[in-house]
Structure 1
Amino acid sequence: MQIFGVDIGGSGIKGAPVDLDRGDLAQERCKVLTPQPATPDGVADGVKQVVDHFGWTGPVGLTFPGVVTGGSTIRTAANVDKSWIDTDARALFSERLGGLPVTVVNDADAAGVAEVAFGAGRDRSGTVILLTFGTGIGSALFADGVLVPNTELGHLELNGHDAEKRASSKAKEDAELTWEHWARRVQKYLAHVEMLFSPELFIIGGGVSRKAQKFLPFIEGIKAEIVPAQLQNNAGIVGAAMRAAKGS
């Protein structure tokens, strides 16, 4: 069974048909740059461009980098335009895609759902936390495989700042940090999250998961196991498609 998944990020919009039996992309993904400013109309145009690239005419699952309530209403917009707040995202995207059935879910929650079903969190009990490091820091919290949605742990305060302002991969690039220096920031963040939730497992997702060997060896003092996401930066696309298949 194939369903289309789209992952909307602060810097890029990427999507592809997903083989839900394998939990992997059925075709090579298409990616376009997220418009700046990332307004609802601009992002919807980018999503349409990605979906039209494949001539897709079935259900579409989409991620969004913020809190999504009721499967449609956007409540936060830290890394996209603030005009997203209170937008009915499902109606917007469905209209732009010519009436196709659309499902919208928080981006990190989608990545977490995919990793728990097909990746590093598969068959793991207890508390599992996936953290995506990109333009910001997304989070997905699971208790015995059950998702607690919209946790947004990237906005925990760390040394007087939003954690993602210090420890996201964008923060690394903006400050031109070495991998080792950035890893120390990530370590402080993980220690803070561990103090609050005592997880058995941290899964590190986002684009940096492809380069885990460059920074994970520098992270020390964390009791939980720390592993890179197995689906890497495709996890959001897969998870969005999984949610669309369920219709929620």
Structure 2
Amino acid sequence: MNVDSHIFMTRSNVNEKNEIYTLSIDCGGGGIKSGIVNNHNELLSDSLRTGITYPFSPADLINIISSHIQQHNFSYDRIVLGFPGMVRGGKVIYTPHYIRFNGPHTQISAELQQRWNGLNLQEFIGQHFNKPILIINDSELAASKVVCGQGTELMLTLGTGLGCSLFVNGSLAPHIEMSHALFSQEQTYDECLGEIARQTLGNSLWNSNVERAIISLWPVFRWDRLYLGGGNSTHLSSSTIKNLEHFIHADDALATLEIVPNISAILGGHKAWELASGQEFI
């Protein structure tokens, strides 16, 4: 999305401390989280989470956001929303979870598919809350908090599915939905690494899948920095992390691996806007 002049903050948007308050919303397949952050990436409100009840429509998303805003009871200047799926210019190209009757990997609803895919989410949310808004992928929002702006930085988020975002020298590369690529036989990365797989396989086999998956992605990206985040990053075993570090360092001694907390998506709200300024978020 080109960040045009009409959505930059005016002087009236800035409080007495010359700070901009950003409502940061992290949308996942299982729940919606939000918090308000300042210019220093500090959380000023409680971090709220509301579980999703399927079927889940755009109107349901608005209702949850409205409820969170009331609970935060904190003035904010702008919104950033991390959305699960492919978004371009604020428009939903495809979302894998919200188009289904009963959540991830269940039957697709033709009605929900029509409501979500192709929706100009930026306009839809903007009309309800009358605030400047930035819509990006949820993995991109989490990455915004931690990327340093040097070299090739890859964020992989482990949650309902697999999130993926790539930054090169601080600029966001075109979005790649790695989760829908085939990983093993007829199963996608999402099906092998997502929450349903973890619950079905157990943590040990799931960790093995994660390890094999990341090793398979090394020749594709050859990152300088790899960040592993999302709610299920807490289930990564120490042996998996050590094995991955050993594998990567055997090929590139300078490449790094960092586990980042799930709160990064909320804390990345302000920085996401800064990264969007002067570049096109795709």
TM-score normalised by length of structure 2: 0.76
Q: Which amino acid aligns with 2:193?
A: A
2: CA distance between counterparts of 1:80 and 1:10?
Answer: 7
Distance in 1 (CA, whole Å) between partners of 2:35 and 2:196 is 25
- Report the alpha carbon displacement of residue 135 of structure 1 after superposing the two structures with TM: 0.5
Q: Residues 90-239 of structure 1 correspond to what in structure 2 (within 5 A)?
A: 90-97=122-129, 99-116=130-147, 122=148, 125-159=150-184, 160-173=186-199, 175-178=200-203, 180-213=204-237, 215-217=240-242, 219=244, 221-223=247-249, 224-229=255-260, 232-239=261-268
Moved more, 28-37 or 106-115: 28-37
Q: What's the CA shift for 1:176?
A: 4.2
Deviation at 1:227, TM superposition (A): 1.8
Instruction: Please list every run of 5 or more consecutive structure 1 residues that lacks an aligned counterpart in the other structure.
Output: 117-121
> 1 CA distance for matches of 2:256 and 2:195?
21
User: SS of the counterpart of 2:268?
Assistant: helix
8 Å Cα contact 1:183-1:216 kept in structure 2: no
Tell whether the 8 Å contact from 1:63 to 1:104 is kept in structure 2 after alignment.
Answer: yes
Change (3 A) 1:113 1:149: farther
CA contact (8 A) 1:158 1:189 kept: yes
Report what 1:28 is aligned to.
Answer: 46
Aligned residue for 1:233, secondary structure, equals coil
Provide Cα deviations, 1:127-155, integer angstroms capped at 9, x if missing partner: 22110000011111112222114222222
Tell me how far apart the structure 2 counterparts of residues 46 and 241 of structure 1 sit (CA, whole Å).
Answer: 21
**Quick one: which amino acid aligns to residue 204 of structure 1?**
L
Within a 5 Å distance, the mapping from 1:42-81 to structure 2 comes to 42-55=60-73, 56-70=75-89, 72-81=90-99
Closer, same or farther in 2 for the Cα pair 1:10/1:20, shift >3 Å? same
Separation (CA, whole Å) in 2 of partners of 1:243 and 1:183: 30
> Quick one: distance in 2 between partners of 1:199 and 1:221?
13
Measured in 2, the distance between the counterparts of 1:213 and 1:62 equals 30
One-letter code of the match for 1:4?
L
RMSD after superposition: 2.2
Change (3 A) 1:39 1:161: same
On the 8 A contact 1:35/1:43 being kept in 2, the answer is: no
| Distance apart, 1:244 and its partner CA | 4.4
Q: Is the partner of 1:87 in helix, strand or coil?
A: coil
Aligned twin of 1:85 = 117
Residues 70-102 of structure 1: per-residue CA shift (max 9 Å, x gap): 1x11001112223311001012112232x2222
Question: 2-side partners of 1:58 and 1:200: how far apart?
Answer: 35
Distance 1:168 1:225 in 2: 24
Query: How many Å apart are 1:213 and its aligned residue?
Result: 4.7
